[in-house]
A and B are shown apart, each in its own frame.
Chain A
Amino acid sequence: MNKIAAVIEEVKSKGEFTIVKLRAFEDSFTSLIVQNSSLLPFVKKNKKVWMVFKESEVSIAKGECKISLQNRFFCKITHIEYNDILALITLDYKNERVMSLITYNALRDLELKVGDEVFAFVKSNELAIMEL
């Protein structure tokens, strides 16, 4: 489980859906929640929370690319473990540790290696918010 501390900047609800804008370091993130914010007592503006997401939901891109994903942050690869099928990549995001689980094929295609600078992505609906 990846965990990054962030501050809530904006909470917008419509019926059953809530979109939450967060800031961690200089980057902005969004989280989409299926629940009206009135039922989420700790999801309030200016509140410090954890952003939580699975390793398998972190995608990696090398170089610039246009993409619909809102949550994009610049990282450096610090460690790679792999077998024939999967690769677990450890990233440094402003001294926070983030892990990404991708296929071995993807690791090979992107020619990823320790020291590479990459963009990490998480879909808004994969980003959960947890009370800090």
Chain B
Amino acid sequence: MIKIDIKKRLAKDLLLKVNRVIQKGDFLALFGESGAGKTTLLRILSGLERPDEGKIVVEGEVWFDSQTGFNMPVQKRKIGFVFQDYTLFPNMSVYENLLFAKNDRQKADFLLKLIELDKLKDRYPHQLSGGQKQRVALIRALMREPKILFLDEPLSALDVKMRSKLQDELAQIHKRLGVTTILVSHEISEIFKLCNKVFVLEKGEIKKEASPFEIFVEAKVASSFKFDATILDLKEEDFLCVLTLSFGSNIIKSVIPKEEAKELKIGDKVLVSSKAFNPIIQKIEF
């Protein structure tokens, strides 16, 4: 569990004020306009910036306490960072980059296998694609077994297809390793795919804390039959499009005009809603 209770003045009329708890294993999104304080909050948690006052406790360990004047230096904090621009050392191979973070060959081999890049371990960063570099940056951030993984717009430099692939991979890795992760992203679909919780930051304050579903869709439609589903298939039939959707273990079909399907693709999350009168209910006899 991470307890954050800090204040920091960012400008004359802008005070960053956060008093929240993040549960271990959460995949949290910081969402808000530019200048709302998202990146500053990441920098404070990582120790790159010092709050004016308050306390940060990570899994029972004090990282910052203004009352005692204690501020754990950045290199002592067990954190991992992935930024938008690839930050690999250009003069080191993939493997050396990983071992530089922590000299643990077993761990490096395990993580390389996890993202299926073990064959590229002797390559240098300039021999990798943008997506590959970012994947290496991700596992390098995981080498030191961080208590918090910070992702600051990590995929925004990649094209849509690669981004989607990396989102899947991030979700898999998170599921597998359960590292508490904080993501700064402007992309709602990305947040939907990855995060279980969202902090909405406005002018330095967290205005809302809820699941992506509650933040972005719920309460907007007054219909009683409502769930979020994933698009498994889109089939065009003349002017219509038949969608195959999965929610939980169920698969349903729905029809929309082809024109409306333009914005949709396989893997997208969608909100399915219907009025309460529509479904036909029949008792299941055993």
Residues of A within 8 A of B (CB): 1, 31-35, 40-43, 52, 55-56, 81, 83, 86, 88, 99, 101, 125-131
Contact = CB atoms under 8 A, between A and B. Distances in A.
A33 B256 contact: no
A130 to B, nearest CB: 5
B275 A128 contact: yes
Interface residues of B, number: 19
Tell me the interface secondary structure of chain B in the complex.
loop
B260 A34 contact: no
A50 to B, nearest CB: 9
B222 A33 contact: yes
A33 B237 CA distance: 32
Given A1-B256, A1-B260, A56-B255, A34 B219 contact: no
Contact of B224 (A1, A35, A81, A126): A35
Nearest to A125: B277
Interface of B: 219-224, 237-240, 255-257, 260, 273, 275-278
A35 B222 contact: yes
B221 A83 contact: no
B256 A131 contact: no
Contacts of A88: 239-240, 257
Contacts, number: 60
Contact of B222 (A56, A101, A126, A130): A130
A131 B219 contact: yes
B275 A125 contact: yes
B222 A129 contact: yes
B275 A126 contact: yes
Q: Which 4 A-B pairs have the closest CB atoms?
A: A34-B276, A125-B277, A81-B239, A131-B220
